[in-house]
Chains A and B, each alone.
Chain A
Amino acid sequence: DIVMTQSPESLVVSLGERATIHCKSSQSVLYNSNNKNYLSWYQQKRGQPPRLLIYWASTRESGVPDRFSGSGSGTDFTLTISNLQAEDVAVYYCQQYFNLPLTFGGGTKVEIK
């Protein structure tokens, strides 16, 4: 199984500042034949289902504000929230879909300072 490790576990950021979340996979999730990283990011607010933010490591889902961006390749990935807003308080998860079983990171809780 591909193990997804997120850091930090929690993050406290001031409004308007940048939040950076890291995700590391135990093996590469880059598929060489199409040069795509099979890596997604989700946002989950309290009491709600997850919401897809980013797929293919850096493609923003329709309707997601452009302050959310994804980067990285191979085994190391980053979700950046620029200009943090109050509504961004949530837990963020990465997920690999390179191999079965599909696996998620443990989550990173983002709070406002």
Chain B
Amino acid sequence: QVQLVQSGPEVKKPGASVKVSCKASGYNFGDYGIYWVRQAPGQGLEWMGWISGYNGNTKYEEKFQDRVILTRDRSTTSAYMEFGGLRSDDTAVYFCARGKNMAELRNTFDVWGQGTQVTVSS
């Protein structure tokens, strides 16, 4: 079945970086984009960025573009989010999600990873 499986929880100190992975299976990885969405404790959903599964093109939400790098590896059907300059208010669950419409950037999300808890604390 189509699924996205993310890496485990992380605890980081302020100023550090974190890299979260998202392993895709059950579909042709190159046909769909992967999106990253975060959710702070008790809060709503916030889109962070997109990476094309096909060619690795990226698009970032403006507030994250100086601190986030999205990459992907077609050989392992995995996507990665590296987030630097972590602050306490970056403590959140980070989700990867598949865009439902192939080859579209403006998209809805039909498959989600289980989420990765990132805690930033001194």
Contact = CB atoms under 8 A, between A and B. Distances in A.
A46 B35 CA distance: 21
A12 interface: no
A104 B47 contact: yes
Interface string A39-53: 010100000011110
Interface in A59-102: 61, 93, 95, 97-102
Interface of A: 38, 40, 42, 49-52, 55, 61, 93, 95, 97-107
A21 to B, nearest CB: 14
Given A49-B95, A49-B115, A51-B112, A97 B44 contact: no
A102 B95 CA distance: 15
11 contacts: A40-B108, A40-B109, A49-B95, A49-B112, A49-B113, A61-B110, A93-B44, A101-B61, A102-B107, A103-B47, A104-B47
B47 A38 contact: no
Contacts of A100: 59, 61, 105-106
Contacts of A95: 45, 108-109
Contact of B44 (A40, A61, A102, A105): A105
Interface in B45-63: 45-47, 59, 61-62
B114 interface: yes
A42 B39 CA distance: 14
Contacts of B46: 104
A75 B74 CA distance: 38
B12 interface: no
B45 A52 contact: no
Contacts of B115: 49
Contacts of B35: 102
Contacts of A93: 44-45
A94 B97 CA distance: 16
A40 B108 CA distance: 7
A50 B112 contact: yes
